[in-house]
Amino acid sequence: MNYDDKPWVKSYNNWVKPELEFENKSYIEILDETFEKYKDNPALHFYGLTLSFDELDQQSKRFSNFLIQVGCKPGDIVGICLPTVPQFPIAILGALRIGCVPSGVSPLLTAKEIEYQVNDSGAKVLVMYDMLFGAYIPKIQGNVPSLENIVVSGATDMIPGAAQEIELLEIPGKNVTTFNDMLSKHDPVKPEVKVDPEATAMMYYTGGTTGFPKGAELSHRNVVANTTIVNAWNNVESGKETFCACAPLFHVAGASAYLGALRTGASWILVPNPRDTDHICDQMEKHKPTLMSNVPSLYQMLLNNPRFKKLDHSKLKYLFSASALLAEETFKELESVVGEGKVLEAWGMTEVVALLTMSPAGKVKIGSIGVPLPNVRLKIIDTDDETKEVPVGEPGEFIVQSPSVMKGYFKKPDETKYALRDFDGEPWMHTGDVGRMDEDGYLYLMDRSKDMINVSGFKVFSKEVEDKVYSHPGVEFVAFVGVSDPDRAGNEMVKMVVQCTEEYKKKNEDQIKEDLLAFCRENMAKYKVPKIIELVDEMPLSGIGKVDKKPLRD
């Protein structure tokens, strides 16, 4: 058995075809059909606001005509620096409609980081959260020459009677307006713009496999392929689904899930603060979602809220978990609450419009990220000699081919060439993720290649040891990182950073460390046992709730 045999296909559900065909249309062409078919259906739910597909369509056309009026052309970048509020999908769709390229800009970034992304992308327009506008733009206004237009928006702008007055600063050389004023001054007339399926649809930033953040150019063809594949995999029923996704729209996981749901006429529950579990419970109780996606840490937060456990989950068909693996205890507890067979693990990356693998419904293997999706080719290669495949069952780096693989990194040909380099005479996306495959084609993620720790020549896969420590009842969050060994040049020591549960924190700190060290010695090989244990009150998390190892290494 080898990877070309696609051993994973035998694990597919009977409604899934191993190879799918895709419409030769831009994403926005497909969406126009959806808007017409489901125009009276609810498209967005946001606190007390519900927008129909027709209303969303009209508002997005107003934004399109604003972009045309300020001189934007197909291919121009439109940065969107907002939390998950209705203005975000309006801006995404308005940009897509005329061939412009929406690019999520995290509101969690610093002023300098926003400056970098605006300059790297050459964004002409930035839709910006009002709180950041006053705090950040004065600091960077002279350093962003491409930026010509700033649209300022408040979180409650779209809620009738709740919009707050926004104080605009005069920025030399920049046209500044509010989101609501912009909408009111432009008609909802459909622009006559033909968008090529090969054109870039959106650009989301990633650290990629190396270096500084890079803009991954994702074509309309990429987006159409990925959304087709994921919807077919999950047997999504057009016009009948309600989706609650907590990943922010400024992250590719949130954006791709949204675009996939949108094209099927699904209703979308907007979640501006995924840590506000009471609000999520309110929305779930009111709108009865059929599909949900989240990251493990936020599922754990939901499980910690007694209200979530008391909700009626009978209409929930699937709960998707990605960006990290659910700890076994969390997985089992979540299933006990929502129902057996509903929790599906997934894996992917920005460079492929988010997803490459997912668990088959009803055939989940705990600890696995599922199997490669239709139309995906996957191989596992030696981390020391990338010209060689490793046998099925052995660990190595995942490389993939898929119709959703990016065009490349924006204006970074060397980085693109490195990520999409040849294997056996063909270009493959080198993911930087290390894992193995079992005989049924299920994949097990062991680490990012950059997160492997080299202890005297032995490889410590941080993901593997973290999963073990998560089974300790006193551990809320854990991260293993490598730090330089002062006694051995070029060698690393294992450092474990732990955020304990509130109950466990009541113990003496030395006692906690001694207990955790004994647990590690009992459950892992000697070279994997941490030399340093650091306890923190709060683990740094990324914008989507994943443990952020960068500050831990620093």
Reported as a single tens digit per residue, the pLDDT across 279-333 is: 999 999 999 999 999 988 889 899 999 999 999 999 999 999 987 788 888 999 9
Report, as an integer, the average pLDDT of 374-387: 94
Are 260 and 186 found together in one domain?
A: no
Average pLDDT, the chain: 93
Are 335 and 385 found together in one domain?
A: yes
Predicted confidence at residue 512, as pLDDT, reads: 95
In a domain, 168, yes or no: yes
DSSP string, 76-97: -EEEEE--SSTHHHHHHHHHHH
In a domain, 513, yes or no: yes
Q: Any bridge partners for residue 152, and if so which?
A: 128, 178
3-state secondary structure of 152: strand
pLDDT higher than threshold 60 for residue 209? no
Q: What pLDDT digit, counting tens, does each position of 39-98 carry? A: 999 999 999 899 999 999 999 999 999 999 999 999 999 999 999 999 999 999 999 999
In a domain, 412, yes or no: yes
Q: What is the CATH number of the domain that holds 112?
A: 3.40.50.980
Higher per-residue pLDDT: 465 or 30: 30
Report in angstroms the alpha-carbon separations of 432 from 172, 207, 429, 447, 531: 43, 11, 9, 9, 26
Half-sphere exposure of 230 (CA within 13 A, CB side): 33
CB–CB of 441/12 below 8 Å? no
Distance in angstroms (rounded) separating the CA atoms of residues 25 and 222: 11
Q: What pLDDT digit, counting tens, does each position of 212-253 carry? A: 789 999 999 999 999 999 999 999 999 999 999 998 999 999
Q: What is the CATH number of the domain that holds 525?
A: 3.30.300.30
Query: What's the full length of the chain, in residues?
Result: 554
> In which residue are the tokens 């709060």 written?
538
Distance in angstroms (rounded) separating the CA atoms of residues 82 and 88: 7
Q: Which helix (H) or strand (E) holds 286?
A: helix 277-287
3-state secondary structure of 459: strand
Q: Please identify, among 447, 482, 517, the residue that sits at the C-terminal boundary of a domain.
A: 447
Predicted confidence at residue 498, as pLDDT, reads: 95
pLDDT higher than threshold 80 for residue 106? yes
Predicted confidence at residue 28, as pLDDT, reads: 96
Are 339 and 432 found together in one domain?
A: yes
pLDDT higher than threshold 60 for residue 17? yes
Higher per-residue pLDDT: 487 or 247: 247
* pTM across the whole model: 0.85
User: Cβ atoms within 10 A of the Cβ of 164, count?
Assistant: 10
pLDDT higher than threshold 50 for residue 365? yes
pLDDT higher than threshold 60 for residue 210? no
Distance in angstroms (rounded) separating the CA atoms of residues 429 and 431: 6
Are 369 and 231 found together in one domain?
A: yes
In a domain, 39, yes or no: no
540 φ, ψ (degrees, to nearest 5): -65, 130
Domain total of the chain: 3
DSSP structure class, residue 268? E
pLDDT higher than threshold 70 for residue 449? no
User: In sequence order, what E strands does 383-421 have?
Assistant: 396-401, 408-409
pLDDT higher than threshold 50 for residue 347? yes
Residue 169: partners with Cβ closer than 8 Å, 6 or more residues away: 133, 134, 137, 138, 176
In a domain, 43, yes or no: no
Report, as an integer, the average pLDDT of 401-421: 96
DSSP structure class, residue 172? T
Are 111 and 220 found together in one domain?
A: no
pLDDT higher than threshold 70 for residue 208? no
Taking alpha carbons only, the member of 532, 502, 527 closest to residue 516 is: 532
Chain centroid to CA 189: 32
3-state secondary structure of 505: helix
Are 485 and 426 found together in one domain?
A: no
Q: What is the CATH number of the domain that holds 265?
A: 3.40.50.12780
Predicted confidence at residue 207, as pLDDT, reads: 63
Q: Which helix (H) or strand (E) holds 236?
A: none
Are 418 and 310 found together in one domain?
A: yes
pLDDT higher than threshold 70 for residue 177? yes
In a domain, 46, yes or no: no
| Domain of residue 100, residue span | 52-195
Are 131 and 69 found together in one domain?
A: yes
Q: Please identify, among 447, 478, 512, the residue that sits at the C-terminal boundary of a domain.
A: 447
Are 191 and 261 found together in one domain?
A: no
Are 310 and 357 found together in one domain?
A: yes
Q: What pLDDT digit, counting tens, does each position of 527-550 carry? A: 899 999 999 999 988 766 678 887
Q: Please identify, among 399, 418, 447, the residue that sits at the C-terminal boundary of a domain.
A: 447
User: Cβ atoms within 10 A of the Cβ of 142, count?
Assistant: 10
Q: Which two tokens stand for residue 63?
A: 């934004």
In a domain, 36, yes or no: no
Are 296 and 391 found together in one domain?
A: yes
DSSP structure class, residue 421? -
Taking alpha carbons only, the member of 424, 495, 462, 410 closest to residue 146 is: 410
In a domain, 37, yes or no: no
Name the burial class of residue 394, with classes exposed (0-12), middle (13-18) and buried (19+) by CB atoms within 10 angstroms of its CB. exposed
Predicted confidence at residue 456, as pLDDT, reads: 67
Q: Which two tokens stand for residue 315?
A: 């209409």
Are 182 and 326 found together in one domain?
A: no
Q: Label residues 297-307 b or e (16+ Cβ within 10 Å = b).
A: bbbbbbbeeee
